[in-house]
Amino acid sequence: MIASMDLNASPVPEDDEEIYERHIEHYSAQEEHVESAVEISRREREERRKRLRRDRSDDRPVHVSQPPVHDHFYQNRNSRSYDKSRIPPGWLDCPSVGQEIGCIIPSKVPLGESYNDCVPPGKRYSFKQVIHQQRVLGRKLGLVIDLTNTSRYYQTTDLKREGIKHVKIQCKGRDSVPENVAVNTFVYEVSQFLLRQKSKKYILVHCTHGHNRTGYMIIHYLMRSQSMSVTQAIKIFNEARPPGIYKPDYIDALYAFYHERRPEMVVCPSTPEWKRSSDLDLNGDAVADDDDDDGGGGPAALPIIEEVFCCVMTTFQIVLRFVVKVLLIDTEENHETDAVLTNDDILGDEIPRDQLESMRSFCYQTLKLNLGVRGHAQFPGSHPVSLNRDNLQLLRQRYYYATWKADGTRYMMLITVDGCYLIDRSFNFRRVQMRFPARHPNEGIGERTHHFTLLDGEMVIDTLPDSQKQERRYLIYDMMAINTVSIVERPFYERWKMLEKEVIEPRNYERQNIYQSRNPYYRYDLEPFRVRRKDFWLLSTVNKVLKEFIPRLSHEADGLIFQGWDDPYVPRTHEGLLKWKYARLNSVDFLFEISSDDRPQLYLFERGKRKLMDRDTVEFRDVSDPPSSFSGKIIECSWDPDQQVWVYMRIRTDKSTPNDFNTFKKVMRSIKDNITDEILLNEINEIIRLPMYADRIRMDSKASARRK
């Protein structure tokens, strides 16, 4: 019945005709190998155009043959209001709701009363019906999450009257999966709602049909709230809302996002019948909605012209998908990418503002700080001070270990069950997809993950010497909280050991035994970066670190860090945490400005305000861009003692404020004192002979020999 309908008489709105034309043009290169099919397509297209021209020049209403039933529901199709009141393709026959998944109910979009003219009474599904149906089932709705890309489907007044919160997360649908930021917002909204509710209330989640975007979001939520694989999460959704997600790209995107290999047995369901025949039921001209999950219907439902076009497209898509798969497999196996990695790359995805505030509070509580004015909290990470002739004495008074000063990008990292967050120097958080199983002797591996564990470290880029392949690696040098418990007051050596036992070992263990884990399909090698605990050594090894270890490193290092072995974690400036840099690398970060009378100016910060450094000047040596292009930027500069000027090194994209004036004074002091590597090594040679050091070095060496 469907195939025999006279769709040739159907008008094609100009936009769609244009889109259609563009598609034909775009894919003409691929058409050559299906010449005969295209020949039919061309002929059909010509005839269609002729008909259109005739229809338009006649300037008379175009009558579309429609199914005989419910004729009055189609009468407004050719009127000006047609677009606004158009029912999404396939909506009428698409089942309204699925089964609940916890407190979440997947649904198609409820259509407001204004659509009643187009919807037969038995098929109406507005919020009045939704609330009533759910009440009959004994459920009370508390939240509606709307994922459609438009606001034309209903007004939220009915919801407000019932005290139901409405959250709009606009997602395009069609060919693109929802953006990662939208996913973060969705997961946060659901979690917050469930956390705050006093009595059990349900969340209705809808896109247009309640399958692809809705499924994609719910699966993300399941993945982040429970310990399961993508396959299990997909299964839960498919069973609750058959046939589930039916767009292969969405399924592929889920596996790719969670770094999982897609098992062979997972096949994407075919497009449901109500969707495939939908364009004919209501939109005889196969017009796709700009808020459509699915684009056009399947070939069975299409007239010959679309069928041929579809055939060309499908062939092309299959070829394209194959090519993409081959490329993906290649990159999966090699974990390589052509893009050059830089320290300025922005990693991870933005998170909702409220979530940011609550995570900032957690960090402040953990570090035992008072959160300043809401939203103006500063990065609270511990910061070393430059070594000078005075604080060099600290090395004699307290027991220190040394490590290389890795020169990448500073991040603290917060691990929670719903994700892992990189915290930059501006105290912004971005979500990265990483896995950190928690150690638990009574549970199988992968049973639990860390939750509110806070780490500190440096992200570096390693360039492997043989292959020149780049690898991003997070070098963790401290741990401030483990599963919500602050450990900042414990001595460094305990925190450092705990870091190995609780974070690194479970991760490495699961990595090596992934086939016995709950999720054998997880691919650690697809994570955005690798993870390692930073090594710290006895002072007696500093000579070796400086002369042998640092030159052989496959990432940048600009000096040494001296870490008090018994120190607590001290937020912000820690006078006992010492950094030694090669003199030429001692640097200050200024804010650079060009004044209104064209003079270059350098600024620092003092008590939160800009301080003009009018005696300091900067030279941009070997830089092709004019100084004006650096105006408004934070620039890192080193000191040229001969010329007595600052020399531009690089733009600090990771920082939004210049150094504090106090930091500047310390750097200047360090430059003036000029502790060369020779002076440093001589000093250390003396220090390690002191009884305090000699005894502890002996004890530590014995302890480490016992561990081996």
Ligand X SMILES: Nc1nc2c(ncn2[C@@H]2O[C@H](COP(=O)(O)OP(=O)(O)OP(=O)(O)O)[C@@H](O)[C@H]2O)c(=O)[nH]1
- Interface contacts to ligand X, rule CB under 6 A: 382-384, 403, 405-406, 410, 458, 477, 534, 561, 577, 579, 589, 659
Min CB(417)–ligand X separation in Å: 27
Instruction: Determine the straight-line distance between the first and last CA of the chain, rounded to whole angstroms.
Output: 79
Name the pairing type of β-strands 419-423 and 634-640: unpaired
Among residues 431 and 574, whose Cβ is nearest to ligand X?
Answer: 574
Reading the block at residue 349, the tokens are 């995805």
Among residues 401 and 693, whose Cβ is nearest to ligand X?
Answer: 401
Tokens 């043959």 correspond to 65
Among residues 209 and 405, whose Cβ is nearest to ligand X?
Answer: 405
Dist CA 230 CA 262 (whole Å): 8
Residue 610 in marked binding region: no
Q: How far is CA 429 from the centre of its chain?
A: 10
Min CB(433)–ligand X separation in Å: 23
Among residues 234 and 406, whose Cβ is nearest to ligand X?
Answer: 406
Alpha helices per DSSP H over 499-651: 505-512, 542-544, 550-552
Residue 49 in marked binding region: no
Is 161 exposed, middle or buried (CB count within 10 Å of its CB: 0-12, 13-18, 19+)? exposed
Min CB(606)–ligand X separation in Å: 15
CA distances to 217, 252, 522, 590 from 328, in Å? 23, 11, 16, 43
Residue 566 in marked binding region: no
Contact 387, 579 (CB under 8 A): yes
Residue 651 in marked binding region: yes
Among residues 118 and 392, whose Cβ is nearest to ligand X?
Answer: 392
Dist CA 263 CA 488 (whole Å): 43
Min CB(248)–ligand X separation in Å: 43
Min CB(420)–ligand X separation in Å: 18
Residue 532 in marked binding region: no
Nearest to 636 by CA among 626, 649, 620: 649
Among residues 233 and 684, whose Cβ is nearest to ligand X?
Answer: 684
Whether the ω angle into residue 243 lies within 30 degrees of 0, i.e. cis, is yes
Among residues 143 and 385, whose Cβ is nearest to ligand X?
Answer: 385
Dist CA 255 CA 257 (whole Å): 5
Dist CA 336 CA 330 (whole Å): 8
CA distances to 402, 405, 465, 558, 565 from 561, in Å? 6, 6, 25, 10, 12
Among residues 272 and 457, whose Cβ is nearest to ligand X?
Answer: 457
Residue 675 in marked binding region: no
Q: What is the DSSP letter of 104?
A: E
- Return the C-alpha torsion angle 27, 32, 35, 39, nearest 10: 50
Residue 598 in marked binding region: no
Residue 165 in marked binding region: no
Task: Give 97's contacts (C-beta < 8 A, 6+ positions apart).
Answer: 105, 106, 107, 108, 130, 133, 204, 210
Catalytic residues: 207, 405
Residue 152 in marked binding region: no
Min CB(576)–ligand X separation in Å: 11
Tokens 């059990």 correspond to 200
Min CB(474)–ligand X separation in Å: 11
Dist CA 9 CA 165 (whole Å): 45
Residue 527 in marked binding region: no
| Secondary structure (3-state) at 400 | strand
Among residues 208 and 403, whose Cβ is nearest to ligand X?
Answer: 403
- Give the count of alpha carbons within 13 A of 314, CB side only: 11
Residue 700 in marked binding region: no
Residue 410 in marked binding region: yes
Contact 635, 589 (CB under 8 A): yes
Dist CA 227 CA 706 (whole Å): 37
Nearest to 249 by CA among 187, 181, 328, 190: 328
Q: What is the DSSP letter of 284?
A: T
Tokens 């780049």 correspond to 470
Min CB(392)–ligand X separation in Å: 17
Edge-first strand order for the sheet with 104-107 is: 104-107, 202-206, 141-146, 165-168
Q: What are phi and psi of 449, to 5 degrees?
A: -120, 165
Min CB(403)–ligand X separation in Å: 5
Residue 16 in marked binding region: no
Among residues 208 and 563, whose Cβ is nearest to ligand X?
Answer: 563
Dist CA 203 CA 460 (whole Å): 42
Dist CA 89 CA 36 (whole Å): 30
Among residues 216 and 492, whose Cβ is nearest to ligand X?
Answer: 492
Min CB(614)–ligand X separation in Å: 21
Min CB(406)–ligand X separation in Å: 4
> Looking at beta carbons, which residue is closest to ligand X?
410
Residue 425 in marked binding region: yes
Min CB(196)–ligand X separation in Å: 37
Contact 617, 648 (CB under 8 A): no
Dist CA 464 CA 238 (whole Å): 44
Among residues 219 and 406, whose Cβ is nearest to ligand X?
Answer: 406
- What string of DSSP letters covers 601-641? EEEEEETTEEEE-TT--EE-TT--S-GGGGTT-EEEEEEET
Task: Give 110's contacts (C-beta < 8 A, 6+ positions apart).
Answer: 125, 126, 127, 129, 130, 153, 154, 206
Reading the block at residue 610, the tokens are 């800009």
Annotated binding-site members: 410, 425, 456-458, 579-581, 650-655
Annotated binding-site members for GTP: 410, 425, 456-458, 579-581, 650-655
